[in-house]
Chain A
């Protein structure tokens, strides 16, 4: 692994992709990349489905790209020099469609994280159109820190940020297209969705003792409003940066990777995780939930001196 930089300048592109307009969005990415370069960014993060928009439905197949798509290669070339995370519909060789986030570095697609959890409830209908990813992997990067990338709903399942941190990531990045809902006056910043996300992302930062970057889009598609409110949270759970709700913008935030070491020395939660215990109990719970009786041989062994 490369030596970590003293300071990493993040750029968060909180913007409104045009629904189904891949070429327009590619051009817009190019503009943000240049603006990020001018601002001295080391890492540029775009929101979920930044190249396509979110509410695609039957347009999903029309805007899908294979990982060897020349447009993606061109974008990686444009982004050369800045670690850049973009998101799009990925089509696999066997024609499954995935919601994917890709890390572009040094002119190529360095890592792809397919969305693992596809919400299909309430206002969401993702599983109808997309296949779920099957891997949760930290990504090494030229920044000298490992990145843990998740897509929106992936971070509503505690296993994902936990696995990413245990796999080596110290900078967790969630790219989102989160629709805002519940404007009850009692909510923090007046929006129920914002309260929920803030609570869980700050909790993940603290529990994984990692930086957490939340990049959420803005804009309107059909009935829904994406609320922005992107954040950067320190490894002690304290928010470093909170973007305004609903405003478009490219936001720069400097973070110090040394904060991770300091936090993990002082609060060695990751050191103390007990994965074998977790796996053992999970295997038991899987059997229980599937109504499969415990293996009697295992039981007899458990009783032996």
Chain B
């Protein structure tokens, strides 16, 4: 299925990384320029998604205009922080460490029985709050780091890790993130390690959700990008149970991918019949 040693890249998902880099680079520059910003800020977890975005932003606008914020919780793996620091060291960008443990623990208290889901969501929203504060103090736009796979299945926290001014990699499946990361020289250890939300020691996305990314990426590609029916993807070799489950996850998370509906009352309503580009004349910061 793959000729790459470090990861599994299904052949139908292979992208032209040169073109992708160029498009994303122009996209990043344009988003900043059209908004009247020169700098960017992002949350660097030590995982591959945010590492890749840090590399892409650096290539587009230079390391001196990027601030990476490391926001570990006390149970976060020390290896994650070490990997994030390695990215910062290699890129030569500015970084800041903001421990979110005091914020999270102050809310839940020491003896909470809050579920891992609640705590994980809260952590993601604390990180968002820190990033938007640093957006002000550093004068940088918050760059999103979510990939297409997690966006489609809804493996994101609304107004948490999915909050951003723009997202350069949101149309790349996880396998494609790995391919592009390898092409850009993201440290091999980050590319190889199992993706994790890092909410508790040893947690991995794939163990928690019961799928492998290359398999899920392929399934989503055929179902969504190539518009294949359930029967057609089953005929391609996907287990019907996996197909049904993925379909449910995609449908169930539609709300996370859209702006909330506004009750239509007036003559012109934002998003309904008041339709302007985000970056219209006069929209840039003066």
Could you tell me which A residues sit within 8 Å of B by CB distance?
A: 19-21, 55-59, 180, 183-187, 189-191, 219-222, 225, 245-246
Contact = CB atoms under 8 A, between A and B. Distances in A.
A221 B26 CA distance: 11
A185 B16 contact: yes
Contacts of A180: 23
Given A225-B26, A245-B22, A246-B22, A191 B280 contact: no
B23 A246 contact: yes
B31 A58 contact: no
B109 to A, nearest CB: 42
A183 B23 contact: yes
B277 A222 contact: yes
A156 B9 CA distance: 34
B277 A184 contact: no
B281 A20 contact: yes
A189 B104 CA distance: 49
B235 interface: no
Counting chain B CB atoms within 10 Å of each CB, the highest count among A20, A57, A183, A221 belongs to A183
A222 B15 contact: no
Contacts of A183: 15-16, 19-20, 23
A222 B27 CA distance: 9
27 contacts: A19-B277, A19-B279, A19-B280, A19-B281, A20-B277, A21-B281, A56-B277, A57-B276, A57-B277, A59-B277, A180-B23, A183-B15, A184-B14, A184-B15, A185-B14, A185-B16, A186-B14, A190-B16, A190-B19, A219-B30, A220-B27, A221-B277, A222-B277, A222-B278, A225-B23, A225-B27, A246-B26
A169 to B, nearest CB: 33
B18 interface: yes
B275 interface: yes
Contacts, number: 64
Interface string B98-124: 000000000000000000000000000
A185 B20 CA distance: 10
Interface in B5-27: 12, 14-16, 18-20, 22-23, 26-27
Q: How large is the interface on B (under 10, 10 to 19, 20 to 34, 35 or more residues)?
A: 20 to 34
Counting chain B CB atoms within 10 Å of each CB, the highest count among A19, A185, A187 belongs to A185
Contacts of A56: 277
Given A56-B277, A221-B277, 19 more contacts: A19-B279, A19-B280, A20-B277, A20-B280, A21-B281, A58-B276, A59-B277, A59-B280, A59-B281, A180-B23, A183-B15, A183-B16, A183-B19, A185-B14, A187-B16, A191-B16, A191-B19, A219-B30, A225-B23
A220 B168 CA distance: 12
B26 A220 contact: yes
Contacts of A246: 22-23, 26
A301 B280 CA distance: 62
B15 A57 contact: no
A219 B29 CA distance: 10
B228 to A, nearest CB: 16
A190 B276 contact: no
List the 5 shortest-distance A-B pairs measured between CB atoms, nearest first: A190-B16, A220-B30, A190-B19, A185-B14, A57-B275
Contacts of A20: 277, 280-281
Counting chain A CB atoms within 10 Å of each CB, the highest count among B16, B20, B275, B279 belongs to B16
B16 A184 contact: yes
Given A58-B275, A220-B27, A225-B26, A190 B280 contact: no
Nearest to A227: B23
Contacts of A59: 276-277, 280-281
A220 B18 CA distance: 17
